Structure 1
Amino acid sequence: MSRNDALRSARLRAGWRSADAAAAGLQAHGQRLLDDPHFTVSARTWRRWEGPRPGWPSEETALVLHDALGRWPEDLGFTVPPGWIRPGHHEEAGLRVTRLLDVTAAALAPGPLAPQQVDPALVDYFQSQLEGHYRADMLLGPHDLIGTLGPQYQLIDKLTRSATGETRRGLLRVGAAYAALVGWLYQDAGDLSAAAFWRGITQEAALRARDPHLIGYALVNSAQVRTDLGDGAGVVDLCEAALDDPGVVPKIRVMAMQQQAHGASLLRDRASVDRLIDGADRLLPQVTDDLPWGNACRRTPGYLEVQRATCYGRLGLGAEASALWTQVLDVVPGTARRDRGVYMARHATAAAASQEPEQAVEIAREAATIAVETGSARMRRELVTLERVMRPWQDAPVGRALAEALAPVTEGS
């Protein structure tokens, strides 16, 4: 067949007279079903689905297609991948949303709770779990880990309400670290409202613990959300507040300076980007504290060059950003798969911005595979940015190659 007649017939039965109407209808249906305003389907994608090589939709899109048209993708002319198992029902996406909402509700449990004796050793116990969670963050998608951390935070909060003295402050400190990680996972999952909520929980716990280092950490965490919101002035304000305390450990200063550089890049201020990252680089050898949180600056290879390359890409400095990404990716371990995928997506965008579309497509292929495996909304956003930068070539063979490479990510992402 020269076209996918099965999908076309289903479209017409649904009352969608054109690919544009079908894409708009399926997008609206998916946003309602998944309670996800970011679910999108383009008319271009729908037209390809009705072509001779429709490919295979993402899992969420398959669920939406079934709910909207009453048929699974293999009955709609799509190319069935090896190992596809038809779901028994289409409630999985809704259940996932419910589970994530339950995690956030755990932070708002009404009190007071029944009092209990709290052993001070529990502070060390929860603190010892953090490093494992940070490692898991590098290996898993955000959804699975959120479900693990939520109950642990709920238990810490319950114990905090009964504890007294230094034990209480210790639990507040470790609770702030857990809340910060949950906030980051929501940010990676693309839910900035929940991320901002958990950043607020982090800051509240840090203030209650009266820990200046943790307060600075919480401010930088909030600045991260502001960066994703595109609020350069907000990022700068929060980072300057974190840097106001001359007594905070060098790690906080490094974190605040590099995040402020992101704010400067949003404000189109390259000179400040370089000044801040160069200053953070001079401080990095002084990061010797034993605090269990905020250690990405010494755990991540090429940490500050990652920030510089990201800022350069945001400033439109494609060639300079691309050169930096090449250096960074040479030292990123394979175990840091999700970070590697984000970096590759940014590298591809930088290559496209420097008029190297073939290189951009080559890099994007692996990034798209990682995005599907990890479910990272952050990575999907980077690939959407790549699509936008590649628009001058969208009708050329290299543009069609990019669309094919990104299809598993962009369809219903």
Structure 2
Amino acid sequence: MPRESGNVHLKAARQHAGYASQQALVDALARAGSELGVDHTEVSLRQVRRWESANPPWPHAVHQRLLEHILGLPISQLGFTPPWGAQPERQNATPRTSTTMSVTPPLPLPSPTTTTQPASIAVDYASVTKAHRRLYWRVQPPLIRAAATEHTRFGTQLLSEMSGAPRRVLATALAESLLLVGRIEFFDLRQPNEADARFVEALQAAGAADDQLLGAAILGHAAFVPGWAGDRDGAAERLRAARAYMRRAGSTPALFTAWLYAVEAECETRCGKHREALRVITKAEDALADADETPLPEWFDWFSPIRLASFKGNTQLKAGHLPQARQTLLHVLDELPDEARKQRTVVLGDLAAVEAAEGNPEAACAHAGEALDQLSITWYATGMERVREVRRALERWADLDCVLQLDDHLYEWRTTLIALQR
């Protein structure tokens, strides 16, 4: 018998806000009480456990205010049903601006109804999710995002008509689809607030499926949001939650463990902690050296040893280890598979940055131009950010022919229009 999942909406919001344990939520509620001038209102660990149970009691008004304040979501989105039945629409929840940055609250997952669809529905839904996973690497981001988003809406509605094992299959596929939408919004379109909301929804679906490793993957991606914004503590909190999920999953593939280290290194790099980032990269390499035969989940298709080397090259660049960065990134460029077009733009941008830092504008422009050629085929906002950073670094050579030619390429009709649309 599967164990009771409880109030997955509140649990997902808690984890996503950076509170890895129920006790952490208790402590945060106490702090929020002081901030809001309700010092004499206490919330016990037992109360939080009841809220996260399968049949949570309706919180008192002051508790609703505290929950909304620290989680940044209205009470109607946290899995509670009021005594009078209908879900109230609350618009006055205070959004968080540190570890939770979303502005669009996630929709609650529907509960099972008396209508039950056949098990084949879940299998068919999962097959479409699998197709979207493959299409992501070649289809333009707005197109695959639109298709995947509609797929998640469909899956959310279907979930209310499923039960038992088929419901868990459908919930897993729905969580993967929501994660894909979040990845597109964050990396391809640079819409971090929208991505943050998708990661909350994905965590809710993973909770409905009781898929701990997929939950860890979602939280790992969610760590990028505060990490790229320079919120080191927020990123660290989400990574701690991801590792808690990973431990509960049991045997974990070495590549997955290495990926979480790579995420941590990226966040440390973005927060200016380059030495710490290099130390974490070494831990990722050590994890791969101890690789076991634990099979990877089918959905884990965004990371590999050569992509770890790409993380390392960027970290070496930011740390000022330019010869080492050049060597690492050239190796990555040689080893990247043909379908890794988006990653190739990032590596080319980093190589261009190395050459610019070394005082080689011609070589920098050559690499940046290659990145732009690829971006004209497959848009990737993260890759374009790298090229723009290089162009800013080349400003002291702005009158050179190679830089002028790069400007012509960077600001041609198609590239300029795409950039403005994004």
d(CA) in 2 for partners of 1:348, 1:125: 45
Q: Per-residue displacement from partner, 1:23-78 (whole Å, max 9, x unpaired)? A: xxxxxxxxxxxxxxxxxxxxxxxxxxxxxxxxxxxxxxxxxxxxxxxxxxxxxxxx
Match of 1:152? 151
Determine the C-alpha separation between the residues in 1 that align with 2:293 and 2:276.
Answer: 22
| Corresponding letter in the other structure for 1:204 | Q
Q: Structure 2: 5+ residue runs without aligned partners? A: 1-102
C-alpha contact 2:109 2:204 (8 A) present in aligned 1 = no
The one-letter code matched in structure 1 to 2:145 is: I
Name the structure with the higher helix share.
1
Matches within 5 A, 1:50-89: none
What is the letter of the counterpart of residue 289 of structure 1? P
In structure 2, the partner of 1:46 is none
Aligned counterpart in structure 1 of residue 362 of structure 2, from 350, 358, 363: 358
Provide the residue aligned with 1:292 in structure 2: 298
User: What SS does the aligned partner of 1:133 have?
Assistant: helix
CA distance 1:366–1:161, shift in 2 (3 Å): same
Do 2:110 and 2:159's aligned partners in 1 also have CA atoms closer than 8 Å? Answer: no
Q: Which residue of 1 aligns with 2:204?
A: 204
Note the alpha carbon deviations across 1:269-322, whole angstroms, 9 max, x for none.
333323322222233333632422223224xx6121011112223334333222
Shift of 1:372: 2.3
Specify the SS of the correspondent of 1:118. Answer: coil
Question: What is the CA-CA distance between 1:240 and the residue it aligns to?
Answer: 2.4
Task: Give the TM-score of the pair, scaled to structure 2.
Answer: 0.66
Amino acid at match of 2:176: A
User: How far off is 1:179 after superposition?
Assistant: 0.2
Q: In the aligned structure 2, how far is the partner of 1:329 from the partner of 1:255?
A: 19
TM, length-normalised to structure 1: 0.67
Q: Which residue of 1 aligns with 2:242?
A: 242
Aligned to 1:319: 323
Q: Which of the numbers 290, 303, 309 marks the counterpart of 1:305?
A: 309
Matched, 1:260 2:259: no
Task: State the partner residue of 2:41.
Answer: none
Amino acid at match of 2:154: L
What is the 5 A alignment of 1:209-248? 209-245=209-245, 246-248=247-249
- Counterpart in 1 of 2:336? 332
The question of whether the paired residues in 2 share the 8 Å contact of 1:224 and 1:235 is answered with yes
The share of aligned pairs that are identical, in percent, is 21
Q: Is the 1:123–1:171 Cα contact (8 Å) retained in structure 2?
A: yes
CA distance in 2, matches of 1:156, 1:106: 18
Of 191-200 and 367-376, more deviation after overlay is shown by 367-376
Quote the residue 1:384 is aligned against.
388
Shift of 1:410: 4.8
- How far the C-alpha of 1:404 sits from its partner, in A, is 2.2
Q: Contact 2:199–2:222 (CA<8 Å) still a contact in 1?
A: yes
What is the DSSP-based 3-state SS (H/G/I as helix, E as strand, rest coil) of the residue aligned with 1:343? helix
Question: Taking structure 1 as reference, are residues 106 and 127 closer, same or farther at Cα in structure 2, changes over 3 Å only?
Answer: farther
Deviation at 1:114, TM superposition (A): 7.9
Amino acid at match of 2:132: H
DSSP-derived class of the 1:296 partner: coil
Aligned equivalents of 2:319 and 2:126: distance in 1? 39
Cα distance in 1 for residues equivalent to 2:243 and 2:128: 29
SS in 1 for 2:137: helix
Closer/same/farther in 2, CA of residues 217 and 110 from structure 1, 3 Å limit:
closer
Contact 2:183 2:195 in 1 (8 A): yes
Residue aligning to 2:122: 123
Quick check: 1:309–1:322 contact (8 Å CA) kept in 2?
yes
Displacement, 1:118?
Answer: 1.9
CA RMSD of superposed structures (Å): 2.8
**Contact 1:176–1:206 (Cα < 8 Å) also in 2:** yes
- Answer yes or no: is the 8 Å Cα contact 1:220–1:242 preserved in 2: yes
Count of aligned pairs: 308
- Structure 1 pair 176/378, CA: closer, same or farther in 2 (3 Å)? same
Letter in 2 for 1:295: D
Give me the whole-angstrom Cα distance separating, in 2, the residues matched to 1:176 and 1:288.
22
Tell me, in whole angstroms, the C-alpha distance in 1 between the residues paired with 2:275 and 2:151: 43
RCO (CA 8 Å, sep 6+): is it higher in 1 or 2?
A: 1
Judged with a 3 Å threshold, the aligned counterparts in structure 2 of structure 1 residues 173 and 230 are, in CA distance, closer, same or farther, namely same
Instruction: Tell me, in whole angstroms, the C-alpha distance in 2 between the residues paired with 1:278 and 1:110.
Output: 40
Instruction: Spell out, residue by residue over 1:335-390, the C-alpha distance to the aligned partner (whole angstroms, 9 max, x if none).
Output: 32222122212221222122221111111112112222223222221111111221
Unaligned runs of 5+ in 1: 1-103
Q: In structure 2, how many angstroms separate the alpha carbons of the residues matched to 1:308 and 1:131?
A: 30
Aligned to 1:163: 162
Counterpart for residue 135 of structure 2: 136
Structure-2 separation of matches of 1:303 and 1:237: 24
What letter corresponds to residue 211 of structure 1 in structure 2? D
Q: Structure 1 CA distance, aligned partners of 2:395 and 2:236?
A: 32
Structure 2 vs 1, CA of residues 322 and 290 (structure 1 numbering), >3 Å: closer, same or farther? closer
Distance (whole Å) between structure 1 residues aligned to residue 373 and residue 404 of structure 2: 17
